[in-house]
């Protein structure tokens, strides 16, 4: 009997899920779920955000310059448990934020350290945020580049394409209120040797990219580093990574981000995360790990960076370290199904199958449409010899995502391992139709044809495999010659 060798990859098939939020209006009072805040030292601003359920409330606010306070009123709103308290922000601009219930709804009171301007915004129908920027015309101790300054500092940095991670040459960098310009060189780097102490606004422009601007603080005799990732302008295509992508891991069309990342995370941390994404997609996991770790150093609550760091550690054969990192990601984002899916894969690598299945089940409890969790769970049931359950969950995976080559291939393997090679043919054929370069599916299809005695089609798969994976092709040839020899005898 043929030794059915499954080359099906048991690993993490990467899927990015945004943070789940509920959207809609209701007749009941809107609930204030959480309050978040972040400080941007380089841009000299503080952002305060209010997350609501069931839509956004009517609101108004008043600024009392004498008291140094801003009072917000959110009408027809109630507060979630433990929200009514004082938040000690205590950065350069804001001392604290306190909440209390009033007859109209909720009152939020912000105590300022310096006069601030307010810019408001919203995310879909779930979050209101307010950027508090120091008002230089009112603050007595403010420093402007137009004023006389004492001492100078330096600015240096690199400029990257936000999708590919490649450096960009030929970018013009101008400093607002200073008659200074620089052009990024071949490795994307730029340098300003003498900038007056204070605040500097840098503008980045290139004919193929959207313009960007950043504010930095210049310290006397210090070098300020500012790296930035630019977005390609509409009509231009970003350069692609030079390394061949992993066939079993579909690369995303763009660097993924979520509202939480865009709202609150340090800009340098985001750019380092994007650099890690480029290295990850290029199969350079050590470089990806370094970039993700640096992003976390700059933004310790960066759940997505912990998530990708954990996956990268698993890719390098360090599942125990991956589990510790993913548990940290889970503590920051406890309702992310993809993190549970990744944890399950790590436990599977350690052959701790019961714990792995438990994580996959948690993933589909949170997101019943996460086909990858069903896919990985089905593979594990197959490894445990529970072919009935393997087929059940893999059929669900294919039903949810019929154009997934990985799920179709796994279903084919499950049928074959359950002793149903006739039923294995169709999903394996679907797998190679969806992804003609999927070497493992070609191998398993060839083995299944051998099992059914169809040597001609098995040889066809061998010919295809020779151009995809020489080692797998050789293994299939050995099985083919063994079968033909047995028949001749």
DSSP state of 331: H
Give just the sign of the alpha carbon dihedral 309, 311, 315, 319. positive
CA distance 286 to 31: 44
Give just the sign of the alpha carbon dihedral 441, 447, 453, 459. positive
Give just the sign of the alpha carbon dihedral 76, 82, 86, 91. negative
pLDDT averages per 10-residue partition of the chain, 489 residues = 40 25 39 79 79 82 81 87 79 86 89 84 76 64 41 86 76 84 88 86 87 80 81 60 29 28 62 84 87 89 90 91 92 87 90 90 87 88 87 91 90 88 91 91 89 87 90 86 60
- Give the count of beta carbons closer than 10 Å to the beta carbon of residue 358: 15
CA distance 186 to 194: 22
Pairing of strands 172-175, 198-206: antiparallel
User: Which of helix, strand or coil describes residue 284?
Assistant: coil
pLDDT at residue 3, as a whole number? 44
Q: 102 vs 49, 64, 107, 110, 431, CA distance in Å?
A: 20, 19, 7, 16, 60
Q: Using alpha carbons, select from 476, 478, 479 the residue that is nearest to residue 468.
A: 476
CA distance 354 to 350: 11
pLDDT at residue 326, as a whole number? 93
pLDDT at residue 411, as a whole number? 92
| pTM score | 0.50
Enter the tokens of residue 54.
């069931």
**Which of 18-52 are b and which e, b meaning 16 or more Cβ less than 10 Å from the residue's Cβ?**
eeebeeeeeeeebbbbebbbbbbebbbbbbbbbbb
CB-based contact 405:438 (threshold 8 Å): yes
Kindly report, residue by residue over 418-458, the tens digit of the pLDDT: 888 889 999 999 999 999 999 899 999 988 888 888 888 88
Kindly report, residue by residue over 312-332, the tens digit of the pLDDT: 999 998 999 999 999 999 988
> Alpha-carbon Rg of the chain, whole angstroms?
28
CB-based contact 275:160 (threshold 8 Å): yes
Q: 228 vs 147, 157, 266, CA distance in Å?
A: 28, 8, 12
Contacting residues for 82 by C-beta, under 8 A, at least 6 apart: none
pLDDT at residue 485, as a whole number? 58
Enter the tokens of residue 435.
């992804």
């Amino acid at each position: 009997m043929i030794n059915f060798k499954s080359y099906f990859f048991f690993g993490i098939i990467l899927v990015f899920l945004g943070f789940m939020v509920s959207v809609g209006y209701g007749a009941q009072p809107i609930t204030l779920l959480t309050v978040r805040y972040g400080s941007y030292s380089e841009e000299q601003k503080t952002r305060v955000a209010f997350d609501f359920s069931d839509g956004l409330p009517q609101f108004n606010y008043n600024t009392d310059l004498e008291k140094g306070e801003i009072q917000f009123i959110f009408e027809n709103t109630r507060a979630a448990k433990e929200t009514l308290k004082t938040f000690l922000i205590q950065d350069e601009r804001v001392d604290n934020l306190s909440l209390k219930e009033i007859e109209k709804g909720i009152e939020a009171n912000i105590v300022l350290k310096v006069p601030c301007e307010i810019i408001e915004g919203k995310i879909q129908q779930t979050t209101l945020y307010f950027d508090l920027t120091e008002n230089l015309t009112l603050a007595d101790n403010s420093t402007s580049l137009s004023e006389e300054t004492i001492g100078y500092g330096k600015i240096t940095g690199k400029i990257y394409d936000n999708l590919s991670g490649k450096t960009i040459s030929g970018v013009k960098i101008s400093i607002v209120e200073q008659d200074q310009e620089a052009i990024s060189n071949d490795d994307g780097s730029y340098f300003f040797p003498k900038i007056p102490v204070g605040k500097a606004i840098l503008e980045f422009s290139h004919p193929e990219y959207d313009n960007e601007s950043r504010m930095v603080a210049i310290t006397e005799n210090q070098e300020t580093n500012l790296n930035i990732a630019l977005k390609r302008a509409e009509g231009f295509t970003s350069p692609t990574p030079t390394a061949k992508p992993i066939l079993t891991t579909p690369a995303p069309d763009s660097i993924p981000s979520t509202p939480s990342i865009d709202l609150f995370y340090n800009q340098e941390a985001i750019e380092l995360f994007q650099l890690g994404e480029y290295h990850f997609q290029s199969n350079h996991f050590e470089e990806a790990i370094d970039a993700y770790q640096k992003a976390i150093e700059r933004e310790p609550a960066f759940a997505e960076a912990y998530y990708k760091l954990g996956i990268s550690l698993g890719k390098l054969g360090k599942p125990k370290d991956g589990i510790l990192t993913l548990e940290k990601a889970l503590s920051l984002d406890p309702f992310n199904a993809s993190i549970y899916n990744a944890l399950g894969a790590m436990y599977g690598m350690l052959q701790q199958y019961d714990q792995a299945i438990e994580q996959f089940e948690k993933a589909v409890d949170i997101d019943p449409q996460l086909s990858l969790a069903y896919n990985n769970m089905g593979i594990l049931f197959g490894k445990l010899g529970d072919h009935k359950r393997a087929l059940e969950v893999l059929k669900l995976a294919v039903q949810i995502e019929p154009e997934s080559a990985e799920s179709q291939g796994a279903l084919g393997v499950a049928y074959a391992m359950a002793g149903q090679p006739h039923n294995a043919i169709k999903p394996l054929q679907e797998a190679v139709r969806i992804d003609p370069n999927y070497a493992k599916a070609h191998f398993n299809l060839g083995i299944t044809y051998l099992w059914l005695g169809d040597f001609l089609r098995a040889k066809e798969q061998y010919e295809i495999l020779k151009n995809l994976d020489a080692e797998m092709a050789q293994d299939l040839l050995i099985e083919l010659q063994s079968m033909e020899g047995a028949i001749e005898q």
